[in-house]
Chains A and B, each alone.
Chain A
Amino acid sequence: MSRLWSANRLTYAALAVTALLSIFPIYWMFVVASRSSDAMGQVPPPVTPGGNLGANIARLFDNTDAYFLTGLINSAIVAGTVTVSVVFFSTLAGFAFAKLRFRGRNALLLVIIATMMVPTQLGVIPLYLLMTKLNWNDRLPAVIVPALVTGFGVFMMRQYAGQAVSTELIEAARMDGCGTARIYWNVVLPALRPAAAVLGLLTFMTTWNDFLWPYAVLNDPENPTVQLSLRALSDGYYQDMSQVFTGTAIATLPLLLVFILFGRQIIGGIMEGAVKA
């Protein structure tokens, strides 16, 4: 790429304002989480952290309406399982679509792309009836199993496998008598690792954040995901805002950690996907 336009002071000033707007609500969440509950009524509103975080955390985990610890554990189980599954099935199918020849390949790929445009959220009612039949209501499989595959994941892995997996290497492995399963495991998966990691991160974050479907199907207040714990906190009759904000801060923390550690890769994944889509 040849040279870009230079950035002047105005560019940096505008970016700084945008960055401030982006970060402030998150920062302020931690501010309120670290203060006592009367911080809400102060004028002007406080913008620096206080020393009450520990006490707020203790009260949050003691709150008998929110089941916050259960929520955290459940969300970790759900998001972790879904991530492993989506990455596994997406790399497998992406490999097949990019590197193997079979009848109906292009038509089936089109179907996968079309599924990305389908608002599956609108199917919650029959899904709920299905879960009642399976006796999965109020239980974690109800939120895990429907999320085990995504069209987005298959498509992303297919795009990446097309350029990252060497066809010669696959042919060579075949000559040596490798079956496709071993080729997937020994040749394809190592080559897909960078993109699979990004897919895993994006999947983890989406699943951790999911709200509507868990809200519909997990009605037992004692067995929530963390987002449902937040709802219970915020809908509570008596609202203790510093405690609610401690909950939102803790629920956001894993996502922020993932982003700080892997932000570069996530940005790369989003931008590469955009060019190809």
Chain B
Amino acid sequence: MAVQLDARPPVLPGPRTGRHAGRVRLSRFDTRYSPYLYIAPFFLLFGVFGVYPLAYTFWVSLHDWDLLGSDHPFVGARNYTQLMADPDFWHAVVNTLGIFVISTVPQLLAALWLANLLNRQLRARTTWRMAVLIPNVTSTAAVAIVFAVLFGREFGMVNWLLDVVGIGGIDWKSNRVASWVAISAMVDWRWTGYNALIFLAAMQAIPRDLYESASIDGANRSRQFWSITVPLLKPTIIFAVIISTIGGLQLFTEPRLFHSGTNAIRGGPLRESQTVTMYMFENAFAPHYNFGYGSAVAWLLFALIAVVAAINVLILRRLGGGAGKEDVL
């Protein structure tokens, strides 16, 4: 129940001065309603600029809606049926899923490994942590431009290194799968260290005596890692996978700036690395300004994110038993 201080007025005897009664009323009003006042800005702003646009996207997707036309006739599911038969859309879906798998799986494994390294008695602990986190604080656009040059065909450093070890140069921008790999490298460069710190935090919460009794039982380091650390980290791993899914399937800045010039929003002349978000952008904004069709892309991407996130959680919950039932998710 509300605060006891509100019980003050009845205790006060006799004639109250108007001023006092006013203050008491004010204080009761304050304790009861001011919390709503404090949280209102969030709900108001998020409602107008977060929830409403997302919901309204669905409404727009049911219309033939572009920049110039003053009326937007209702067309029902036509944008969706058109999209289902649109090879460029499915091409973008495959690109997005390809980049997502190539980037997320190695990234999370590397992050686990890195966290395990950082979870030791290290000299200059903070410096190491900063060194692995620094990619995460750089400007995404800047890094995408730098990586595009590193992966250049003629003068890129990656091809130069490949040449040194005797592998012929790869055309990272016009080969579809190669462009996925290059973009994944960018994503992993940015996020591996961040996820490693998240895993490290969870590792530090694991009681040490678990490991001590395991080593008394003769389990070696790697056995301990896979049978104690990983199972106990499962809630955190699931959390990281969900966050990676939501972010990874909406990937935009990296592939967009990996390419430059006129075909950039198409992810290369043959849409080698156009993601779904880029395809939404290409349709909804310059040059087409087809808001209805773009909105349909947005909603299907939304559905895709939900499905992939659910599949990931199901897979992860089945893997590696251990701390199964008492997980947070």
Contact = CB atoms under 8 A, between A and B. Distances in A.
- Do A and B interact? yes
Interface of A: 1-7, 11, 14-15, 18-19, 21-23, 25-26, 28-29, 32, 40-45, 89-90, 92-93, 95-97, 100-102, 105, 108, 111-112, 115, 117-130, 145-146, 148-149, 151, 154, 174-175, 177, 179-181, 184, 205, 208-209, 211-212, 215-216, 219, 226-227, 230-231, 233-235, 237, 239, 241, 244-245, 247-249, 251-252, 255-256, 258-259, 263-264, 266-267, 270-272, 274-275, 277
Q: Which of A42, A174, A272 has the most CB of B within 10 A?
A: A174
Given A26-B138, A241-B149, A271-B200, A11 B50 contact: no
19 contacts: A2-B208, A15-B122, A19-B132, A25-B150, A28-B157, A32-B149, A121-B277, A123-B52, A123-B298, A124-B53, A124-B284, A179-B30, A211-B140, A226-B139, A248-B139, A248-B145, A270-B198, A271-B200, A274-B197
Given A122-B280, A125-B295, 9 more contacts: A89-B41, A102-B32, A121-B250, A209-B141, A227-B140, A252-B139, A255-B137, A270-B201, A275-B205
A43 B286 contact: no
B165 interface: no
Nearest to A97: B39
B246 A108 contact: no
Contacts of A179: 26-27, 30, 34
A151 B301 CA distance: 22
Interface residues of B, number: 101
B311 interface: no
A102 B250 contact: no
Given A19-B132, A23-B131, A123-B57, A118 B35 contact: no
A54 B261 CA distance: 27
B130 A259 contact: yes
A263 B126 contact: yes
Nearest to A112: B42
B189 A120 contact: no
Contacts of B221: 5
B31 interface: yes
Q: Which of A93, A123, A145 has the most CB of B within 10 A?
A: A123
A161 B312 CA distance: 33
Interface in B227-276: 236, 239, 242, 246, 250, 252-253, 256-257, 260-261, 264
Interface string B126-147: 1011111111011111110111
Contacts, number: 303
B242 A123 contact: no
B145 A118 contact: no
Given A123-B54, A126-B60, A216-B285, A19 B138 contact: no
